[in-house]
């Protein structure tokens, strides 16, 4: 209730990216002051998958903590795992602002951030320092993507560099070839382009689980082909799905949406397609692959539906913006 009022009267009035930075500061401050330790313990259902034990099925998707600066604090807020990034081999500023927009009527976001991050070398050192602290941490996934200045034809070496630098400090690696905000990136979802990237990342993974993250905009047959490739290469799993370029079925007025420009749409409108893709992957791959289902999750009931449909784990991001800091605890409590 308190967060709902704060969002309605304060946070929603701020530029979305500024509000995000303010929220990150507040989360880190609450952790450093040990305020998160005052939260009552909740009973959760643990999940063991690809050799890792997750205290609960629900975690935070990539995009929220791009630079691995709030992992411990986010774990204290109830996320069983935190997927950082997307991290690129080369540091980059991302696209020009404004690049993040709220669609409040749809409980959705449009972003064209463009993989803004500190780069794999800096973030690897940050993760090394965090690991050396020996403090309790959630499972850490590291989502890696292509550096903007690197041509798609040179993508293999770029992903390989990121994997080599980050694998020692990651619990799992997620290969992102599905953001709509890096030119040419989604072309890497074709089997011909994707296979050498995944093989290169596996070679640098130090045996850590490797997953691939795909777009909801893929045709069904392409989803099937990626699932088959994942099984063929022995990947740990598939993360389904990233943001969408579709603008169908939105409540926000069309002209308002158009004024926001290009970018990936996340939030409630993705629920149906994300669930469809999950079911398609599970039908194709059987029980051989883990599937992390993400897209449109808001409620505990939706988490249960995803798990019943075959999800091994579930992630969210946009719901965190709309429902506040206790959201993950509500979804993970049994």
Question: Looking up tokens 């992992």, which residue turns up?
Answer: 71
For residue 184, give the nearest of 221, 152, 138 by alpha carbon.
Answer: 152
* Separation between Cα atoms, residue 252 and residue 248, nearest integer Å: 11
For residue 196, count other CB atoms closer than 10 A to its CB: 14
Catalytic hit among 31, 56, 80, 179: 179
Cα distances from 206 to residues 198, 270, 319, in angstroms, run 14, 34, 33
Do residues 177 and 200 lie in contact, with contact meaning Cβ atoms separated by under 8 Å?
A: no
Q: Residue 179 catalytic?
A: yes
Do residues 98 and 15 lie in contact, with contact meaning Cβ atoms separated by under 8 Å?
A: yes
Q: Which residues contact 148 (CB under 8 A, 6 or more apart)?
A: 88, 92, 114, 115, 182, 183
Task: Write out the catalytic residue numbers.
Answer: 179
């Amino acid at each position: 209730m308190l967060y709902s009022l704060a969002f309605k009267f304060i946070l929603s009035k701020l530029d979305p990216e500024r509000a995000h930075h303010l929220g990150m500061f507040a989360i880190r401050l609450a952790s450093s002051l040990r305020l998160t330790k005052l939260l009552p313990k909740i009973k959760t259902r643990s999940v063991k998958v690809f050799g890792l034990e997750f205290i609960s099925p629900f975690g935070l998707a990539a995009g929220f903590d791009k630079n691995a600066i709030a992992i411990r604090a986010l774990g204290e807020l109830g996320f069983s795992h935190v997927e950082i990034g997307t991290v690129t081999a080369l540091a980059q500023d991302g696209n020009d602002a404004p690049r993040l927009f709220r669609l409040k009527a749809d409980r959705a976001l449009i972003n064209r951030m463009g993989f803004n991050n500190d780069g794999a070398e800096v973030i690897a050192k940050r993760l090394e320092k965090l690991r050396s602290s020996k403090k309790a941490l959630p499972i850490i996934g590291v989502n890696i993507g292509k550096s903007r200045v690197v041509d798609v034809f040179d993508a293999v070496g770029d992903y390989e560099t990121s994997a080599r630098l980050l694998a020692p400090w990651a619990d799992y690696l997620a290969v992102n070839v599905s953001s709509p905000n890096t030119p040419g990136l989604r072309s890497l979802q074709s089997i011909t382009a994707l296979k050498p990237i995944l093989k290169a990342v596996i070679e640098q993974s130090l045996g850590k689980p490797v997953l691939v993250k795909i777009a909801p905009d893929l045709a069904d047959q392409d989803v099937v082909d990626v699932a088959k490739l994942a099984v063929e290469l022995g990947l740990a799993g598939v993360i389904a799905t990233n943001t969408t370029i579709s603008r169908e079925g939105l409540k926000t007025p069309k002209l308002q949406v158009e004024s926001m420009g290009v970018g990936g749409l996340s939030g409630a409108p993705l629920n149906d397609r994300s669930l469809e893709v999950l079911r398609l992957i599970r039908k194709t791959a059987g029980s051989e692959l883990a599937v992390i289902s993400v897209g449109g999750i808001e409620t505990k009931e939706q988490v249960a539906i995803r798990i019943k449909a075959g999800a091994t784990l579930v992630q969210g991001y946009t719901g965190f913006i709309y429902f506040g800091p206790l959201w993950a605890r509500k979804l993970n409590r049994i």
